Amino acid sequence: MNALAREISSGIADCELTHLDRAPIDLDRARRQHAVYIECLERLGCGVRLLPADSTLPDCVFIEDTAVVVPELAVLSRPGAESRRGELPVVEAALQAVRPVQRIEAPGTLDGGDVLRIDRLIWVGCGNRTNAEGGRQLADHLTPMGYEVRLVSQHGCLHFKSGCSQAGAEQVLLNPEWIDPGLFPGLEVIEVDPTEPFAGNVLKVGDTLVVDGRFERTVERLDTLGLPLEVLDNAELARAEGGLTCGSILLD
Ligand code: CIR
């Protein structure tokens, strides 16, 4: 497994914020936590290509939002926040080296954080950053490759995956306040602890789940289920509304 990631912009203080109030971000601490995240991916067997930051692109570390990558193809997104569209060219160049590349075109918008893939099934949360046109374009690219793309309406949290993510081969972790468990028939649904609304975003690398240790009760639930865990601290980037999936694009 390989992965793309991107360094943290020195301009991150000007990041987009939707549901959180602006709070100071300690850049050094954010970079230390990010370095631990990259080391963790490497320990789990990923060859990580770390792309350079850009001081004029506050949110560039959240590379997940810039593309949807499946083994056959990369679809470059068109972020719903205009301030983020400049993030694409560097990512596009990196993707050209590993996949055929397609694009979401205007008036479509799509953030990778709104796209959850479990094998050949793909859910796209439309409503905030991603619009229905963006979701349809993604479906047009991926359906011919044998993927089933389901457009769902999503409003409770910033991105669809802010509220849900794949936990095990057939398990989804979610916050039922934000994401309807009925979206996942046939999969086992694990709910976050109600006191930890942001705990639903975990990163599955192979069989291991990378989790944020600040969400102790949810981590305990996952541990009880016997899922192999790597526990990190994502506190600083969380102030920019970023979770654990946002920091990488996994290339499997
Ligand atoms: C934004 O609002 O776009 C960034 N501050 C946070 C993006 C986090 N990405 C994600 O949830 N996939």
CATH code of 42's domain: 3.75.10.10
Catalytic residue status for 246: yes
Region 208-215: what's the mean pLDDT? Answer: 98
- For residue 1, pLDDT over 90 is answered with no
CA of 110 to the centre of ligand 1 (A): 12
How open is the CA angle 77-6-91, to the nearest 5 degrees? 35
Q: Is the entire prediction scored with pTM above 0.85?
A: yes
Residue 188 pairs in a beta bridge with: 171
pLDDT (tens digit per residue) in 106-148: 999 999 999 999 999 999 999 999 999 999 999 999 999 999 9
| Token pair listed for 231 | 């526990």
Q: Is the CB of 230 within 6 Å of ligand 1?
A: no
Cα of 64 from ligand 1 centre, angstroms: 9
Q: Whose CA is nearest to atom 4 of ligand 1?
A: 16
**pLDDT digits over 144-186, tens only?**
999 999 999 998 899 999 999 999 999 999 999 999 999 999 9
Q: How many domains does the chain have?
A: 1
Full residue range of the structural domain in which residue 190 is found: 2-251
Output the residue whose Cα is nearest ligand 1's atom 1.
16
Cα distance from N-terminal residue to C-terminal residue, the chain: 5
Six token digits for residue 192: 């976050």
Q: Any catalytic annotation for residue 155? A: no
Q: Is 62 in the pocket of ligand 1 (CB under 6 A)?
A: yes
